[in-house]
Amino acid sequence: MAEKKQQVKVPKKKASRREKKDWVAGYLFIAPVTLGLLVFYIFPFIQNFWFSFNNVNKFNMATFCGLENYSKMIVDTELYQTLWNTLKYVVITVPVGLFLSILLAALLNSEIKGKSFYRTIYFLPSVTMSVAVSLIWKWIYNGEYGILNAILKVFGLEGQNWLSNQSTAFYCVMIVGIWCSVGYNMIILLAGMQGISKSLYEAAAIDGAGPKDQFFHVTMPMLTPTIFFVMITSIIGGFQVFDTIYMMIGKTSMAYESCQTMIAMFYRYGFEFGKKGYAAAISIFVFLIIMVVTAFQMWGQKKWVNYD
Amino acid sequence: MKKSKNIRHLFVHIILLAGVTITITPFLWMVFTSFKTLGESMAIPPTIFPSKWQLDAYTKIFTSIPFAQVYLNTIISAVVTVLLQVAFCTMAAYGFGRIDFPFKNTIFLIVLSVLMVPGQIFLIPQYLIIMHMGLLDTIPAVFIPNLFSAFGTFLMRQFFMSLPKELEEAAILDGCNRFQIFGRIMLPLVKPGIVSLVIFTAKFAWNDFMWPMIVNTSPTKMTLAPALSTLQGQYGTRYPMQMAGAVMAVMPIIILFFIFQKQFIEGVAQSGIKG
Amino acid sequence: MKKNLKKLMALGLVVVMGATMLAGCGSKDSGSSDDGGSSDKKTKLTFSMWSETQMPAMQAMIDAYEKENPNVEIELQSSSYKEYWTKIEASATGGTAPDVMWVNVLHIDSYTDAGILAELDDAIADGGLELEGNFPPALIDAYIRDGKQYAIPKDFDTNALFYNKEIFDKAGVAYPTDDWTMEDLNNCCQELLDKGLDENVYPFACPVDFQTWYYQTVYANGGYIINEDKTETGYDLKETQEGIQCWIDMIDKGYAPTLADITDTSADARFESGHLAMVLAGSYMVEEYLANDAIAGKIDCVEVPSMNGKEPNCINGLGYAVYANSKNLEEAQKFAVWCGGEEAMKIQGEAGFVFSARNDAQHYFADAHPELNIAAYTNHVEDAVALPVCMNAAELYDLEANELKYAYDGSKTLEEVCKTLKEEGDALLK
């Protein structure tokens, strides 16, 4: 604590006693989180960065190797395959999930009966453990014994090995991802909708706007900040998807390559092959990609998010 | 007019019920399978209800994994994570959101930077830290890194920022110090935020997979998610047993959810409004 | 409500203090916790393993050892196979790895190379354990690197052909026998199909599995995966490819489920639920099969069918190894060596889960299962090939499974796949 007081004296020349007291209080308030983050997140981040310039064996013994990991990485076709898969996952699950959540939220934002029943049920998957969800869906998708194919058969449709087929497996995983998150996002959007002032709708009604016009000209513009929030969190979540794919797509699935995300590749090199240096380089690459995407969104939001 | 409204409502109900079916079927399928024998679970065509409800799969889990202990571990680590993380984040959020001090923005930017980084980046070094602390394969290993959350700080800060400035100024003139302001004036006002963060954290702590799987490997020190994944095991695939494990893993949080659903849903709703 | 918030705040403050103190002393004192045990009179050892089913047997061994050596206290730890290695690898350099641990041949190269395992030769001599003559030579050699013994053989596993009598009876087909050839296996599959099987029941299964399926035929056919110097792979050899192709042919003929089907539902799950007439299975599966009410009493096993007059089998096993940086190295070695002795092997053997590595204890496994033709596993154990291993074994197996699935699936020819495997596999051996 003594240290902190000294630190405080440096930046501003004139600070009243009360201000100084405030400074101390401020530092005290932020101390646990800041120190914790420094020790368990910032320092590991730097160490991870250091590892990316090393050959780190299974037993965490590091030998410096310069840019070898990076030069190996940029010619590794697997990296681009996983990057492509990850982007595909984000580009499909985020809009589809967002569309469904907005649709459900809009339906529930009317005066219908059983609202809280629907809300409760839709929310259920998002409190369920992803590992359990994966086990359940893997069993549902099973080619011979799964209930999905059994249902299709009732309708005279031919089922298939959903998780082993290159053209279906990734979409099946995406469906699980969407299934898990729609209810959650719906709740957030519904709250956003309910926060919109009634007077705006009344004004629109006076101007002769029907329910459809009201939705597109009042609800949607006023909802953009909430949509932006849901979008950002979904995109970040999408880039880090791992549990479901890890649990559902086995190594001998024909769809294995087409379902591997960057995080899965990182995990495999880091924890299965014991090449933590290379894994660290991959994680740095993932980090850069997320940075670029986030920066792009922050820039883009000015054009469509309505902060009135 | 009234009739058309009724028809419209009926239409809405049909769509919503279709959604309910898609949402609920996997859960029912999980429960039904968990009461079947392996043979029946693989019957063609599949039976919907077990021909005989039996608890074999459940009893087998208790003999292959110390499930009661695993439950307790998960509860302990979730409760500690929630209590401490929420306390830390709320304090830090108040500091960042309402107090001026040198380097505040720089420090906050550093805190925020953690948010942008995919969590897996920290895994290997975090593991080494826990190892050097001599805490591997202990319950604290599961929760320690999770006590400090950049996301929680960010979220709570939004709540503090939205409060009017006058509140504090008046209190300061009254001679309250910062801690009194925080405890007496601010905390009650950000209660919705706290509820929201509690839910986020509880959900995360209960369901977290990769980190507890890496640090704790003794069956008696595991938490539920990794324990469930070990059910897939090195050999064999026993669907009823997997489903029984899944049922037991998701039940507590689903029951909690039904008891506190109003708080759950409001908490989540708040996070979006403030985010 | 207000009271609660006050409490929360108080808690928060207490925690801040705690955290600052923790952060302040954490870096200095990180080593101190390790010394805690030394003041105790008892030497504490940790013993780590990965099989839930074998825990009672290991605990019984520990109890027996502790009785003889009251100064030692051994804590048994178990985790799943995959997590086991993750944990050891991450803790090995920090000095916190278990003192005594199971190892298998897949990991022995990289572990000895990194100096994780202690040499045991002196301890073996001190403990009066004769390896030669008491253990199958292949198992002793499996743990020797640079002329030093790094593990005491614990157990071994080989493979056999299991069959479901009920399915055979129903179809009216004669049971398999020990003297079957690969041709007989194929003929039998055809006969089963001809006589008619229930829906979703297959005569046989061919997953992309090296140890239990194709390695055996690759070696029986005169091919190899890795050459003796561990400098080159043998995927380009005609013999190697034939040894793999024979299984793919069975899928093509409809004797076995397609790759997609076997990926969704494993061969074991099919066999255990009565959907498979025959399956190859390692001896480690015997317990699981017998514990399954659906098939118990309806199954038996015979030798793996012969190929070109050779008896294909693949032997693999575990050993007890000691952590080189153990704080109680001597005690740990003493215990590991004791585990290779007659008494320990008897305890393990009587539990019945595995073949004990010691020659005089192998019979316990068969004794434990008089209802099965367990001899099928051991009849040709002297001809069995050891699992081919190298430094990058995990990566090589991964590559192999990844590529071979295209051949099993039929989307590429085996020849094409093996060309890629040869190139990339050789690169891994460099």
DSSP string of A63-79, one letter each residue: EE-TTHHHHHHTT-HHH
Q: pTM for the whole thing?
A: 0.81
A40 and A168 both lie in a single domain: no
pLDDT average, residue stretch B182-206: 88
Chain A residues lying within 8 Å of B128, measured CB to CB:
47, 60
Q: How confident is the model at residue B48 (pLDDT cuts 50, 70, 90)?
A: confident
C108 CA: distance to closest CA in chain B (Å): 20
* Pairing, β C314-322 against β C152-157: antiparallel
Q: At B106, is the secondary structure helix, strand, or coil?
A: helix
Whether the per-residue pLDDT at B40 is higher than 90: the answer is: no
Whether the per-residue pLDDT at C158 is higher than 50: the answer is: yes
Residue A10 lies in a domain: yes
Q: What is the pLDDT of residue C82?
A: 67
- Angle between helix axes A43-51 and A276-304 (nearest 10 degrees) is 120
Residue A129 lies in a domain: yes
Segments forming the whole domain that contains residue A114: 72-304
Let me know: does A230 contact A185? Beta carbons within 8 Å. Answer: yes
A33 and A136 both lie in a single domain: no
Percentage of the residues of chain B whose pLDDT score is greater than 70: 95
Predicted complex ipTM: 0.86
Chain B residues lying within 8 Å of C272, measured CB to CB:
38, 236, 238
Chain A residues lying within 8 Å of C16, measured CB to CB:
28, 31-32
Q: What is the pLDDT of residue A45?
A: 92
Please state which CATH class domain C43-155+317-368 belongs to. Answer: alpha beta
A298 and A156 both lie in a single domain: yes
Q: How confident is the model at residue C28 (pLDDT cuts 50, 70, 90)?
A: very low
- List pLDDT tens digits, range B55-75: 888 888 887 778 889 989 999
> Using beta carbons and an 8 Å cutoff, which residues of B are at the interface with C?
37-39, 41-42, 44, 64-65, 83-84, 87-88, 90-91, 127-128, 131-134, 136-137, 179, 182-184, 187-188, 213-214, 217-219, 226, 230, 233-239
Instruction: Classify domain C159-312+392-429 at the CATH topology level.
Output: D-Maltodextrin-Binding Protein; domain 2 (3.40.190)
| CATH code assigned at A213 | 1.10.3720.10
Let me know: does C215 contact C385? Beta carbons within 8 Å. Answer: yes
A38 and A91 both lie in a single domain: no
> Using beta carbons and an 8 Å cutoff, which residues of C are at the interface with A?
15-16, 19-20, 23, 26, 86, 89-90, 92-94, 110, 114, 116, 200, 207-208, 258-265, 392, 394-395, 398, 401-402, 405-406, 409, 411
- List pLDDT tens digits, range C194-226: 998 988 899 999 999 888 999 999 999 999 999
Chain A residues lying within 8 Å of C264, measured CB to CB:
141-146, 161, 163-164
- Tracing tokens 């929201």 back to the chain, one arrives at B196
Q: What is the pLDDT of residue A9?
A: 46
Range with the poorest average pLDDT among B105-109, B130-134, C262-266: B130-134
- Mutate: best of B42, B185, B210, B228, partner C, most C CBs <10 A: B42
B71 CA: distance to closest CA in chain A (Å): 14
Which one-letter DSSP state was computed for residue A296?
H
Q: Do the chains contact at A252 and C259, CB–CB below 8 Å?
A: yes
A98 and A237 both lie in a single domain: yes
If one compares B218 and C289, the residue with the highest pLDDT of the two is C289
Which one-letter DSSP state was computed for residue B184?
I
| Pairs from B138-143 (Cβ < 8 Å, separation ≥ 24) | B138/B216, B138/B221, B139/B73, B139/B76, B139/B77, B139/B216, B139/B221, B141/B215, B141/B216, B142/B73, B142/B77, B142/B208, B142/B211, B142/B212, B142/B215, B142/B216, B142/B223, B143/B77, B143/B80, B143/B81, B143/B84, B143/B205
Say which CATH superfamily domain B61-274 falls into: MetI-like (1.10.3720.10)
A298 and A226 both lie in a single domain: yes
Residue A65 lies in a domain: no
Residue A64 lies in a domain: no
What residues of chain A score a pLDDT lower than 50?
A: 1-12
Q: How confident is the model at residue C35 (pLDDT cuts 50, 70, 90)?
A: very low
Q: At C249, is the secondary structure helix, strand, or coil?
A: helix
Name the residue of chain B whose CA is nearest to A180's CA.
B23
Query: How many residues appear in chain B?
Result: 275
Q: What is the pLDDT of residue B272?
A: 66
Name the residue of chain C whose CA is nearest to A59's CA.
C89
A22 and A97 both lie in a single domain: no
So where are chain B's domains?
Answer: 2-56, 61-274
Whether the per-residue pLDDT at C26 is higher than 80: the answer is: no
Q: How confident is the model at residue C236 (pLDDT cuts 50, 70, 90)?
A: very high
So where are chain C's domains?
Answer: 43-155+317-368, 159-312+392-429
Subunits with 3+ Cβ pairs within 8 Å of C are A, B
Q: What is the pLDDT of residue C402?
A: 87
pLDDT average, residue stretch B84-104: 94
* Helix runs in chain B, H state only: 2-34, 38-41, 56-64, 67-98, 104-116, 123-132, 139-143, 150-161, 166-173, 178-180, 187-189, 191-207, 210-215, 224-232, 239-259, 261-274
pLDDT average, residue stretch C134-154: 90
Query: Which among B127, B188, B217 has the least Cβ separation from residue C83?
Result: B217
pLDDT average, residue stretch C20-35: 35
Range with the poorest average pLDDT among A254-258, B230-234, C386-390: B230-234
Residue A67 lies in a domain: no
A135 and A221 both lie in a single domain: yes
B149 CA: distance to closest CA in chain C (Å): 14
**Mean of per-residue pLDDT scores for chain C:** 85
pLDDT average, residue stretch C130-146: 88
Between the ranges A151-165, B41-55, B139-153, where is the mean pLDDT highest? B139-153
Whether the per-residue pLDDT at C255 is higher than 50: the answer is: yes
Residue A62 lies in a domain: no
Residue A131 lies in a domain: yes
Q: What is the pLDDT of residue C300?
A: 95
A45 and A129 both lie in a single domain: no
The C-alpha R_g of chain A, in whole angstroms, comes to 25
Subunits with 3+ Cβ pairs within 8 Å of A are B, C
Any B CB within 8 A of C28 CB: no
Q: What is the pLDDT of residue C12?
A: 41
Q: What is the pLDDT of residue C1?
A: 38
Q: How confident is the model at residue B273 (pLDDT cuts 50, 70, 90)?
A: low
Q: What is the pLDDT of residue C279?
A: 96
Q: What is the pLDDT of residue A197?
A: 86
If one compares C92 and C176, the residue with the highest pLDDT of the two is C176
